Amino acid sequence: MAFTAFDPIYKATVALLPPRMDSPEAKAMLIAIAMQESRWDERRQIGGPAHGFYQFEKGTPQSRGGVTGVLMHKSAGPIIKIVLDRLDYDHTPETSYEAIVHNDVLAFAYARCLLWTLPGLLPERGEADEGWQQYIAAWRPGKPHPATWSKFFNDAWNLVSQP
């Protein structure tokens, strides 16, 4: 994992979010998804439109995907707009889409808000299959790679469990 600043970025992110959005399960899913999406190596998708370690696309009002989907979601939208206000960004998808390339706090907030749109609880340690289902439901990857998920999910929980 090339990215070594996860903990301080995560702490800065959850400081901007409602306290109920901070949990070991959320932290583990954020680590696992970034490892699955970008391996913490690519802030811009190679040969594609996605941005940030979480590989968000801008989306459209019709597709409700990516940045636009989070902004327009009934429960996630108000939360991400508060984060945008606190970071002094406007509420347009274009601004966020460009900002998440280099603003990891904002990228983490978008990823956490996207997870927030899922029904039910986030998976606990040992629930890699449930984690995969939630990842697929939220990110809807065009070319999913299930072979790597269990390792990333378990590695994420090991990182979360470290003192």
- Residue 109 located in a structural domain: yes
Contacts 24+ apart (CB under 8 A), 72-75: 73/113, 73/117, 75/116, 75/117
Domain count, the chain: 1
- Asked if residues 17 and 34 have their Cβ atoms less than 8 Å apart, the reply is no
Q: What is the pTM of this model?
A: 0.95
Token digits for 63?
């597709």
Q: How many Å apart are CA 144 and CA 148, to the nearest integer?
A: 10
CA distances from 57 to 51, 62, 141, 143 (A): 6, 14, 11, 14
- Residue 1 located in a structural domain: no
- Residue 125 located in a structural domain: yes
Q: Tell me which residue has tokens 């927030």.
A: 116
Range of the domain at 135: 6-161
- Residue 152 located in a structural domain: yes
- Residue 96 located in a structural domain: yes
Q: Tell me which residue has tokens 């280099």.
A: 102
| pLDDT value of residue 106 | 98
| pLDDT value of residue 1 | 46
Per residue, the 3-state secondary structure of 46-78, as one string, reads CCCCCECCCCECCCCCCCCCHHHHHHHCCCHHH
- Residue 144 located in a structural domain: yes
pLDDT tens per residue across all 163 residues of the chain: 455 788 899 999 999 999 999 999 999 999 999 999 999 998 999 998 999 999 999 998 777 779 999 999 999 999 999 999 999 999 999 999 999 999 999 999 999 999 999 999 999 999 999 999 999 999 999 889 999 999 999 999 999 987 6
Token digits for 114?
């996207």
Q: Which of 74, 83, 73, 78 is nearest to 105 (CA)?
A: 83
Token digits for 91?
């509420």
